[in-house]
A = this chain, B = another copy of it.
């Protein structure tokens, strides 16, 4: 089953050459070289037909002119010039490469011929490469980046393999907003040499990778993928977006990555059997990864819900039920606790609507301690220092009183968050939060604590409910949660 492909050096080269380096902003040979230079930490060489200087560094007209050894090459030359560039790599003893340009098998017959030629040359020289038709790869821990853009990307537990570079960019943008960090990233492109399945195998063994995200249009070796997935999902979750699921989508995929999508029904069943969590939207990839990498696995699908406001409670209940989750029935002990914490106006059941009072934590703690509750969801109630008070206008006459109130509320909130995190550890129950107001009223110490404890709210109850459902799905697959009978 296991291949002998060790990709460690692919993610941490000592010396790198950019073949097709450019000093023209907007060119990929500009973006990639300047990011490599900005990151530092390894020898970077610019190769450019004109020679002279590029971005302040000496440019060599040919890779073979570089005096020292080169481990890794980023090929940015046109498709037509790539075979020659690969020949140079062979001569120079390069071990790994990424081939950026398009114009290969995805574009035309002539492109397919060029692609075969590049593969032959690389094979002959023992070079393994990513691409062509891709936007690079990176490792945040070794700080090695071959993508041409300077996105804000945090270190973290997720690694991604994508057949689409722009979908990767979309995921970075959403991940940054959501607070999800990355370990490794590969835009596999046409997969002429190293395939999706190879990267998957490597990430399965990579200790920094706690959750694997995948965007695929079609797999070259579906059987190997499923075998690998079955083995990896025992240890870490795999979340996949399979694009091209509709008729026209599949047609578009053929012209994009030349991938042949298999039967939709067959692949859905196979994914499920292999424990692969399958999602529909780009944002689902990020939402699921966040929950799977930070929350304990629930022991069942019974959710305790607290919602500040009855309407959001109804919406969230609808969302949870649509995801196949169940509303927990509180124990009589929990009902007693809720009755004593809240005024008579509370909803007297699940979802808990405190009825306008900002009494949140006693209710949350009661749900955490209830053995009939497998997971807790909180809508609009956590991290909101003093309820919605920060949004009230504060006339000069009330300024001092307002500040006192906010200070006390913040202190209280921080203590409550500590306690909530303690209870989550103790009972191993996931806590998922949602709020549309994220960002507008969560600031300073409270915001930091929310991040530290991975309690930052999802934007909206629907996204939160979907993320929780993925946790339950994975937990049931692993047998941590009991699968409900028919």
- Interface positions of A (Cβ within 8 A of B): 23-26, 30-31, 34-35, 37-38, 55-56, 101-103, 106-108, 148-151, 162-167, 169-171, 173-174, 215, 217, 241, 243-249, 251-253, 255-257, 280-283, 307-315, 317-322, 327, 344-345, 347-349, 351, 353, 355-356, 358, 380, 386-389, 391-398, 401-402, 405-406, 436-437, 440, 460-462
Starting from the known contacts A149-B392, A167-B312, 11 additional A-B residue pairs (CB-CB under 8 Å) come to: A31-B393, A165-B309, A166-B310, A169-B436, A173-B436, A217-B314, A247-B321, A248-B321, A251-B349, A253-B314, A256-B353
Q: Are B170 and A436 in contact (CB under 8 A)?
A: yes
Contact partners of A310 in chain B: CB under 8 A: 106, 164, 166, 252-253, 255-257
Pick 17 A–B contacts, CB within 8 A, sort by A.
A23-B397, A26-B392, A37-B395, A102-B355, A102-B356, A164-B309, A166-B307, A217-B314, A241-B315, A253-B314, A255-B310, A255-B349, A256-B310, A257-B311, A280-B462, A281-B462, A282-B315
Known contacts A30-B398, A34-B398, A56-B396; is-contact A312 B164 (Cβ 8 Å): yes
Residue of A37, A107, A318, A344 contacting most chain B CB atoms (<10 Å): A318
Q: Are B396 and A215 in contact (CB under 8 A)?
A: no
State how many copies of this chain the complex holds: 2
| Nearest CB on B from A346, distance (A) | 9
Q: Are A56 and B397 in contact (CB under 8 A)?
A: yes
Contact partners of A349 in chain B: CB under 8 A: 251-252, 255
Q: Are B312 and A166 in contact (CB under 8 A)?
A: yes
Q: Write the chain B residue with the least CB distance to A152.
A: B440
Q: Are A314 and B249 in contact (CB under 8 A)?
A: yes
Q: Are B398 and A321 in contact (CB under 8 A)?
A: no
Contact partners of A344 in chain B: CB under 8 A: 103, 107-108
| Nearest CB on B from A302, distance (A) | 12
Known contacts A311-B165, A356-B102; is-contact A394 B351 (Cβ 8 Å): no
Q: Write the chain B residue with the least CB distance to A403.
A: B25
| Nearest CB on B from A397, distance (A) | 4
